[in-house]
């Protein structure tokens, strides 16, 4: 008895072997530098928002709005459930846009400097 071909066709029954790349094929130091640079780029707005939130010079209304947006992003409850295609993440996008807009409006050179020092600790440039 032979197995009947699946709906996906005879190619779906074949097993593919993946080739594992050795460290000599990939320049690991280049990869690490790329990941660090990317990490710094992605982390910068988050660290600046955090520093803006904890800064004593940031107006209380702005801090409350930032906390509300962060709380909304962290809590699993949404106005529009995330499983709804396209529309599900739109409410999260609005909260994130409001948060980043507030942070960019209230960030100062001192806040940027503190954020930069924190990023330098987390992502050392010399390594």
Q: What is the pTM of this model?
A: 0.62
Domain-wise residue ranges, the chain: 26-122
User: What number is the average pLDDT over the span 17-25?
Assistant: 58
pLDDT at 75: 79
Q: Is residue 45 a contact partner of residue 120, using CB atoms and an 8 Å limit?
A: no
**3-class SS at 50?**
helix
CA distance linking residue 75 with residue 127, whole number of Å: 36
| 104 half-sphere exposure, CB direction, 13 A CA radius | 8
Q: What is the spatial distance between Cα 75 and Cα 64, in angstroms, rounded to a whole number?
A: 16
Percent of the chain with pLDDT over 70: 77
Residue 105 structure tokens = 């409006």
Question: Regarding predicted confidence, which is higher, 2 or 45?
Answer: 45
Mean of the per-residue pLDDT values of the chain: 79
Instruction: Say how many C-beta atoms besides its own lie within 10 A of residue 93's C-beta.
Output: 9
């Amino acid at each position: 008895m032979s197995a009947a071909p699946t709906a996906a066709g005879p190619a779906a029954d074949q097993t593919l072997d993946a080739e594992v790349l050795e460290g000599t094929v990939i320049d690991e130091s280049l990869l690490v530098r790329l990941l660090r640079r990317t990490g710094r780029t992605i982390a910068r707005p988050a660290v600046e928002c955090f520093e803006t939130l904890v800064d004593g010079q940031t107006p209380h209304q702005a801090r409350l709005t930032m906390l509300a947006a962060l709380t909304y992003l962290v809590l699993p409850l949404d106005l529009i459930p995330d499983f709804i295609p396209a529309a599900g993440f739109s409410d999260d996008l609005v909260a994130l846009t409001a948060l980043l807009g507030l942070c960019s409006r209230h960030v100062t050179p001192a806040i940027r400097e503190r954020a930069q020092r924190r990023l330098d600790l987390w992502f050392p440039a010399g390594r």
